[in-house]
Chains A and B, each alone.
Chain A
Amino acid sequence: MTIPQTDRRSMLKLGALAATPLAVLAPSAVLAASDDDSAARLSLLETRAAIEELARKVVLRFNDGGVQACADLARCADAFRLDPQLSAIRPDPAADMVVELAADSSAATCRLACLAEHSLAFAGDTTIERMARFQGQSAATNTTSATLDLALERSGQGWTVRTMHVA
C-alpha cells in the first residue's frame, strides 16, 4: 500500500487523496481498528510522517558521519549495504518520496530519488595518484543519479532501518 505524502507537494494533492477510497490507502487491519475513515487516514499520515522523518534523519546522519553516525537508527550493524566509496546522498528536491506499508503495518519501504556522491580517495601508489596528492587533491567525487531504498520495521512506537541501499 502506498501512503500519500505529507510534504508541500503532497499537500497539494490532499483533495485528490480525500477522494481516494480508503481501502486503497490503508491495510484492512488499520481500517478495522479505526472508528471511522478520518481516524484511519490520520493514522496513515502519522505513519508516513514518522517514516519520512526517519529517512531524513538517516540521510542527514550519513552525510555528516557515514554509517557509523546512523548506527542507532538501524536494527543491526549490517543494515547499511552501501558502496564504501559512497560519501553523500543528495535527495532530489523535485522527487516524491514513495512509502509503502505492509499489510500488517509492521514493515515499510521508502524509496527516494537522489544524487549519490562517490568519493575516490587518491591513496594508492600509482604515480598519477601520487601526483594528484602533490597537487593537493586527495580525492575525486563522482556524482550519479541513484535511488535510496530503505526497508523499515516497527520498533516499539517508532521505526528502525532494516536495510539501506543506494543504487
Chain B
Amino acid sequence: MAKAAYPDDVPLFRYDYTALSLDQVAAALRAPALGGPGGAAELEQLTREELAFVATDGTRLTWNFGPDRQVTLQGEQPGRYGALTVDHITLIAHLVPGTTRGYAIAWDRHDNRATVFELWFGGGPAPTNREVNRAVWHGHIEGGARPEGELHMPTGRVQGRAIMWAEDTGNRTVDYYPSSAFSHWVELDRIAEGRGYSGPSDYIKLTEDLYLYTRTEAEFSGLWQMYVMDANRLQSVGLRLGFDGLDNLEYYMFRGTGEWLGQIANFMAFEDVSGDPLAMPDGPKGARRVYRPLETMDKMTPAEVSAAVAAETHVFARASAMAGHGLPPSRALSGRNFAVRYDGGPQVEYRFTGHDELQWREGGAGGWTTARYNAWETMPGVFIFGHLLAGKPNHDGHVVVADFDNGKATCFRGYLNTPYFANEAGAETWFGKLVGEGIPDPGTARHERTNDLLGSCLTWSYSPGLTSMHLYSSPNTVSWIIFTPSGHGGAQWSGSGDFVKIRDQLYFVRWQEEACNGTLGTILINLRTMHDSGIGYHCGENGLSMSPVGAYARLAGRFDVEKYLGNKRGGYAV
C-alpha cells in the first residue's frame, strides 16, 4: 500500500491512516491558524468590527475583526479568518491559534440568523485525533435587526437530491443526499477509481434557497467538508479542514458550481420536513450517531474461520429477517442435470437430486459432492440458485443465475480467507454458459455488465420494519440507507458492487460489506414484478451461512450520473 494523499491502489476503508497525536495536530495547525485558510478564491474582508452571536441555548460568542483579516475570539490569541459570500450568506472560518479548534459561521446578512460550528481535533467524541469533531449552534447575530420567525434548523428538505459540485480548486465530486443524517460522495478527480463513500452529515435550512451541508469523512481520513449551497443558482461557498492520507493539513475555503443530477422520492409523511433524524440531544458536546461498522464487525483469522465453519455451517437452514417478504423457493430444478461452463474458469456439473439438494463436481471427473441449495424462478425460465462448495479451502459459495431460455449463466463466487479479515467475503463475477439437454447454446454470447442501474435508488422491504434503500452510486458501488421509523433516510454505508444484465428489467447485483460485517449480498432484481430473490453469504463467530434474501421493491428514482461515472468502472482488489 503506497502512501498517498488520496490512495490510488486501495479504497479509503483499506488505507492505513496515521494515528496522529494531538501534538502533531497542534503543530500542523499553528501556522495556518495565524495565516488563515487558503483557497483559490479571493477571500473577503469583513467591514464589521464585531460579531456577537447568541445561540438558542444562551451560548454567546463574540468575534472581533481587524484589518488584513485578523480575528480575535473573546480575548484569545488573534489569528486570521477567511470569508466568502454566496447570495446573502457569508461563511466565515478561522482556527484559534494555540489550540486545536476553530469555528465556521454561516451568517445571513439579510436578517442576522446565524449557525455556528465549533470544530476541534482530539478529546472526543471522535475516536481519533485526526477526525474533526463538530458542535452546532443556531441563533442570531446581535446588533442589527433581530430575526423574526424560525431560526436556521436541521432539515429534511435536502434529502433525495444529488449535485455534482466543481470547486474552484479543480476538484469535483458527485454528492448524493439520500439521507437526512448521512451522505454519499464520489470523488471525480482526487481519486481515479470512482468508488463512492458514506459519512455522517448535517443538513441545515438557512432559507428556502440556501442550505448548509457538512460531512465528516469518519472511518477514513477524518476530513471535514462543508458548504453553503444556493439550491437555485447552484453556487456554493465552503470550507475543507482536516488531514489527507499523507497527513498534510487541508485548510481552505472554496467556491463551487453545481450541476443538478436529480431528485428521488422521499418516504417521510408528506408534511414532515424535519431534519436530524438520528439526533442525540442528551449526548455530550458534539455527540451524534456515527456509524463505525468496523468496530462491531467480527474480525477473524483463517484458523478461526476454519474452526467456525467446522463448528457451524447453516445453508438455508433457518428463517432470515432478510427474506420475510421473499418468494418461496422453487422446486422446478429438481430432477434436472446440467453443467455451467465458465469462461476462463471451471466447469461445474450439477445433478439436482431434490427440491433442496444437489450434487456438484468440477472438471467433468471425480466424485460428486452433495450440497443443500435453494432456487427461485425470478422470471419465467430464469433461476437463481446457490450452494456451498464443501471442501474448497476458501469455503466457496456459488450463487448462479441460469437462463434456460438462452443458455447463459453468471455466477457470483463468494469466498473467505480474504487478506484483511479472513471472515470477510470476497467475490468474483464469472460469466459462462449452460450445457445440457434441451438448453440452447448461446455461442459466445454472455450476460454483460451494465450501467442500466447506475444512479438508481430502489427501496427494499425485507420484513416488517426492516426496509432499506439501495443507491447504485457508481459502476462499482452499492450504497445502502436504513430508514428511520419516521421514514427519513438514516444511517448509510456502502461497499463494492457489481451489476450484470440478465434480461431486460432483470439484473443480477452483488455488494460486499467490506470492513462492515463482511457479508456478500447477491440479488436478482426483477423490475417488472418489483421483487427480488437472492442469497446472503456471511461468516462470523457464529459460523458460515448462506441464507435467503427477498424483499418488495419500490423505485425511488434515478440520478443522472452517467456522464460523470459511466466510465469509472474501476474496481480495485479489495
Contact = CB atoms under 8 A, between A and B. Distances in A.
Interface in A115-130: 118, 120, 122, 124-130
A142 B465 contact: yes
Given A126-B322, A127-B516, A127-B519, A134 B491 contact: yes
Interface residues on B, range: 20 to 34
Interface string B287-329: 0010101001000000000000000000000001110100000
Nearest to B542: A125
A126 B484 contact: no
Contacts of A140: 463-466
B296 A126 contact: no
Contacts of A135: 278, 289, 482, 484, 490-491
B517 interface: yes
A112 to B, nearest CB: 23
A125 B517 CA distance: 8
A145 interface: no
B464 A131 contact: no
Given A126-B322, A129-B321, A132-B466, A137 B516 contact: no
B291 A128 contact: no
B468 interface: yes
Given A126-B320, A131-B482, A131-B491, A118 B464 contact: yes
B513 interface: yes
A141 interface: yes
B538 interface: yes
A142 B461 CA distance: 13
A77 B303 CA distance: 45
A122 to B, nearest CB: 7
Query: Most chain-B CB neighbours within 10 Å: which of A118, A126, A139, A141?
Result: A126
A127 B479 CA distance: 12
Contacts of B480: 127-128
A134 B482 CA distance: 10
Interface string B518-538: 010000000000000000101
A140 B468 CA distance: 14
A135 B490 CA distance: 7
A130 B468 CA distance: 12
A124 B542 CA distance: 11
A142 B517 contact: no
A124 B485 CA distance: 19
A130 B465 contact: no
A127 B517 contact: yes
A130 B296 contact: yes
Contacts of B324: 120
B173 to A, nearest CB: 24
Given A120-B321, A135-B482, A135-B491, A128 B468 contact: yes
A128 B464 contact: no
Given A120-B463, A120-B465, A135-B491, 10 more contacts: A120-B464, A126-B320, A126-B321, A127-B480, A127-B493, A127-B517, A132-B482, A135-B278, A135-B490, A140-B465
Interface of B: 278, 289, 291, 293, 296, 320-322, 324, 462-466, 468, 480, 482, 484-485, 490-491, 493, 513, 516-517, 519, 536, 538, 540, 542
The 5 A-B residue pairs whose C-beta atoms are closest, nearest first, are A140-B465, A142-B464, A131-B482, A127-B517, A131-B491
Interface of A: 118, 120, 122, 124-132, 134-137, 139-142
